Amino acid sequence: MSDRFRLTLAQLNPTVGDLAGNAAKARAAFEVARAAGADMLVLPEMFITGYQVQDLVLKPAFVADAMAHIVDLSRACADGPAIGIGGPLAEDGALYNAFYVLQGGEISAVVRKHELPNTQVFDELRHFDQGPISGPYSINGVRIGTPICEDAWHEDVAEALEESGAQILVVPNGSPYYRQKFERRLNAMVSRVIETGLPLVYLNMVGGQDDQVFDGGSFVLNPGGVLAMQMQIFDEDIEHVDFEQGPDGWHALRGVLKTFPDEWEQDYRVMVEALRDYLRKCGFKKVLLGLSGGVDSAIVATIAVDALGAENVRCVMMPSEYTSQTSLDDAVAVANALGCHLDTISIAAGRAAITETLAPVFAGLPPDLTEENIQSRLRGLLLMALSNKFGEMLLTTGNKSEVAVGYATIYGDMAGGYNPIKDLYKMRVFETCRWRNANHRDWMRGPKGVVIPPEVIEKPPTAELRDNQKDEDSLPPYEILDGILERLIDKDQSVAEVVAAGFDRATVKRVEHLIYISEYKRYQAAPGPRTSGKAFWLDRRYPIVNQWRDDD
């Protein structure tokens, strides 16, 4: 056995269901690994299918097709390094999240995932059977232990591998982003290294899938928990890590050590990458959105331009008699700063026609929220017509504060295919605008400098559906509302705990009521990128019909 071992880590972006495309990515990475003289190429968890596959993996034909692609890959890559690749395994009436080891044209070993996560966005107990704790497999005389993703968060799996002779731990992952997730991953893996005394390789995938973004950031730890290599965050990357065997076992030689941006940049990058990948993987090239002159639509337009380029973003201003000249001017300023196309379509004629149509039925009734929502729904109708005509995906622009309390019109401003700011509370929207004005990165396709005029950020938020309307006419000030929402939703605190934090009980109860009665709207809302770890959809699943209230 040699005292040197080279591992190639392929931090790549698969597409769910694109078996041939994912296999092609694996083959391209194999050629890189072979040219570098690697002993083994490692690809992420469930790479051949993409991740997460959800109930698609319950379709036997899909699983059979995925397994056939792995067999084909093993035969096509017979001459060169071993390959480790994630994929489903149907075996003896069971279905496993598995990691295949390919050597010499054959599948030489299969590891079955033991710990199946069933929290937050994961439903693996629904989809997979629990595998046994597998022993290590041998690559050119080196014994490799592979805890698959969640397995590495449980000390018993890593310890069992160490006790059965593993010399290096290789952990393939499909681990999606939320704020401060990397620190949690690193701390957990350091614990495994300290407990086992073995070096550990943590390989994550990158790319967007529906509401989740896999952020990469793969790394290698030496015994003692010392960081030997740190790969780029968010970007596809292939790196080689060399291990040497000494008197105390194997250790990795120092490799690249990339640094990470702060959480504001990470969140913004997630929103850009999520939109970019969602469109690319769904087959769209262009988007449109309603640009109101407000802060929410301004940041969505900016994210879209940074993701796709200004030439692929259409903005539409749809004024009514309640639209201020300031809003008109601000919409023009944002579109000009970003360099994207702006259409202006008045809703006055359409509103008059609908008012006339409904007049016999509404006779004798005073105007109320109904008439306000007609305006929003007219805008949704017009935007969807443009989307159909030009083949551009419609983006929605509601922030998490509005989504949480139902301050949005279903079939109106909620209409659309994707919402880049769905998981950003309003106060974070303001700060994100300021961050983007002050920062520009190479991965942004939009212009440098101030792209959202300060007056757009500073003016009082308003839906402009009636004279002199302000959001605070209907809601608590956003700094108060967001503080309550973060506690009730993100932290699952009780009313008593929120009140103890200094908030007025009547206001807390009102917000709690709005959250619960708005559940039906969220079931029909567009998807959007998860940044908080408690996003609406898979992170938080509440019944629509719910009569319980916290009366503490």
Q: pLDDT value at position 543?
A: 87
- Average model confidence (pLDDT) across the chain: 94
As a whole number of angstroms, the distance between CA 270 and CA 155 comes to 30
Pick the more confident residue, 272 or 2: 272
> Structurally, what CATH architecture does the domain formed by 4-255 represent?
4-Layer Sandwich (3.60)
Question: What is the reported pLDDT for 466?
Answer: 65
**Sign of the C-alpha dihedral computed for residues 360, 362, 366 and 371 taken in this order:** negative
Contact status, residue 228 vs residue 202, Cβ threshold 8 Å = no
pLDDT at 212 over 70: yes
Model confidence at 2: pLDDT above 80: no
Q: Is the pLDDT of residue 462 over 80?
A: no
pLDDT band of 119, cuts 50, 70, 90: confident
Q: Which CATH architecture does the domain made up of 264-523 adopt?
A: 3-Layer(aba) Sandwich (3.40)
- pLDDT computed for residue 469 by the predictor: 67
Which of 182-186, 344-348, 412-416, 547-551 is predicted least confidently? 547-551
Hey, what are 482's tokens? 């967001």
Mean pLDDT of 484-506: 95
Cis, peptide link before residue 52, omega less than 30° from 0: yes
* pLDDT mean over 243-249: 93
Q: Does the pLDDT at position 342 exceed 80?
A: yes
Nearest to 49 by CA among 22, 68, 30: 22
69-73, 435-439, 546-550: least confidently modelled range: 546-550
Please give the pLDDT value at position 378: 95
Looking at residue 526, its pLDDT comes to: 95
pLDDT beyond 60 at 127:
yes
For the chain, the domains span: 4-255, 264-523
Question: Per-residue pLDDT averaged across 85-103, rounded?
Answer: 97
Range in 217-221, 237-241, 455-459, 461-465 with the lowest mean pLDDT = 461-465
Residue 243: the pLDDT is 97
The more confident residue out of 408 and 460 is 408
Mean pLDDT of 207-235: 96
Placement of tokens 């083949």 in the chain:
391
Q: Which of 29-43, 268-282, 360-374, 380-394 has the lowest mean pLDDT?
A: 360-374
Any idea which residues carry the catalytic annotation? 45, 113, 149
For residue 461, the model assigns a pLDDT of 78
Q: Three-state secondary structure along 371-399? A: HHHHHHHHHHHHHHHHHHHHCCEEECCCC
Q: What pLDDT is stored for residue 516 in this prediction?
A: 95
What is the dihedral angle through the alpha carbons of 350, 351, 354, 358, rounded to the nearest 10 degrees?
-170
Strand pairing class (94-103; 82-91):
antiparallel
For residue 26, what pLDDT is reported?
98
What's the pLDDT tens digit per position in 161-186? Answer: 999 999 999 999 999 999 999 999 99
- Rounded to whole angstroms, how far apart are CA atoms 517 and 520? 7
Q: Which of 5-14, 16-25, 115-124, 509-518 is least confident?
A: 115-124
Question: Average pLDDT for residues 143-171, to the nearest whole number?
Answer: 96
pLDDT of residue 465: 67
Position 387 scores a pLDDT of: 97
- Residues 404-444 have pLDDT tens digits of 999 999 999 999 999 999 999 999 999 999 999 999 999 99
For residue 552, pLDDT beyond 90:
no
Query: What span, in angstroms and rounded, lies between the C-alpha atoms of 496 and 435?
Result: 35
Going by C-beta distance under 8 Å and a sequence separation of 6 or more, which residues neighbour residue 204? 11, 44, 173, 174, 175, 214, 215, 216, 217, 218
pLDDT band, very low/low/confident/very high, at 474 (cuts 50, 70, 90): confident
> Is pLDDT above 60 for 1?
no
- Reported as a pLDDT band with limits 50, 70 and 90, residue 402 is very high
Report residue 537's pLDDT band, with 50, 70 and 90 as the boundaries. confident
